[in-house]
Amino acid sequence: MGRRDPLDLDEFHDLTEADELRRQLSDIHAKLRKAKNRNEALVEATIEGARDAMRALGPMPKIPKPRAGNRKGKPEAALWHLTDWQGSKITTSYNSQVMRERILRFCDTAERLTEIQRSHHPVDECVILFGGDMVEGLFNYPSQPFEIDATLFEQFSQAARLEAEVVRRALATYPKVKVVQEWGNHGRVGSKRAAVPRADNFDRMTYELARGIVGEQPRLDWKDSEEDIHWFEIGNYRALLIHGDEIGRNGAASINTLVKYVTQLKAGAYDKPFTDVYAGHLHSHRDIELPDGGSYFQTGSPESDNRYARDSMAATSGSTQRLHFVDPAKGRVTAQYKVDLS
């Protein structure tokens, strides 16, 4: 039996450091698993609790069928971009009740403008874009718990009911409705972007609950998705839905930064062709023409008098949401409205 060489001191230190790194890595994995399980339990408990509350309300009334409109002219589709509701946020002119009143005012306006559009075109389809930050949240900044009028559970339930009401209003106006959904930064389950998976988000939970409230409807296309960027099409019209916090530092981006981001997506960073991008986040309404064609449509918020949005993100466009009409055959926007809700 051969004699084993004595272990070199440097080699001993290397082995000791490797063991310590392995131990630390094992501890990190254990903590990550524990955090993931805790977040999943929180998400499931919240959704189930909200479902129980919704069941207690009883069955929803039947959705009336939309009336037949003009059949002359080229068909068009309506596009409702609803984003950054910041549900339960309190300012000098905004709270949960004001949010509800303003969103229903948007529905009223969209229905009236649809009837005007129908005098020249059949408008049988509506695509609703829910753009994220539908709830104000609880984990974004230290003073946030003092600037809301509802608990996180109440925010979640209120937003879901209002989203369901919006979809029901659309189903009563258009023969065919599709919902595309995105989540924002205020719905994060945690204070840091990387703390939990992006898809574990209270916005996404409100959509799931709202979908359950509306129920199975043969004229409704509404599917969940874990994608960060949501691609959709209306005939030959192809576009993206994002929240907007993905761009720039802390989501505050210059026009050049926005254009650069979209140009990179079109150059191959995104694998599907598109013309336009719909975004929110900055609480201001603006349309930016892209150098290679198409537009970056940034939609405002129903919220008003948000000091942070005004000072940090120059959001000064008032309380607004967006309505477009689209020509599916030509693949372009034919009419657009900045809907004032104040």
Q: Which residue has the higher pLDDT, 76 or 41?
A: 76
Measure the CA–CA gap between 272 and 204, rounded to whole angstroms.
23
* DSSP symbols for 269-322: ISSS--SEEEE-SSS--EEEE-TTS-EEEE--BS----HHHHHHH---S-BEEE
Q: What is the pLDDT of residues 217-227, one digit of tens each?
A: 999 999 888 88
299 touches 320 (CB < 8 A) = yes
Measure the CA–CA gap between 252 and 243, rounded to whole angstroms.
12
**Residue among 146, 143, 161, 138 at smallest CA distance from 86:** 138
Q: What is the pLDDT of residues 126-184, one digit of tens each?
A: 999 999 999 876 655 555 555 666 677 787 888 999 999 999 999 999 999 999 999 88
Average per-residue pLDDT for the chain: 82
* DSSP symbols for 168-230: HHHHTT-SEEEEEE---STTBSSSSTTTS-TT-BHHHHHHHHHHHHH---TTEEE-----SSE
> pLDDT at residue 44 above 80?
no
Q: Is the dihedral of CA 181, 187, 193, 195 positive or negative?
A: negative
Q: Which residue has the higher pLDDT, 14 or 221?
A: 221
What fold is seen in the domain 72-340? Purple Acid Phosphatase; chain A, domain 2 (3.60.21)
Q: Is the dihedral of CA 168, 185, 227, 32 positive or negative?
A: negative
- State the pTM of this model: 0.81
Could you tell me the two tokens for 55?
A: 């069941």
Could you tell me the two tokens for 298?
A: 């940034």
Sketch the domain layout of the chain as residue ranges: 7-59, 72-340
Could you tell me the two tokens for 301?
A: 């918020």
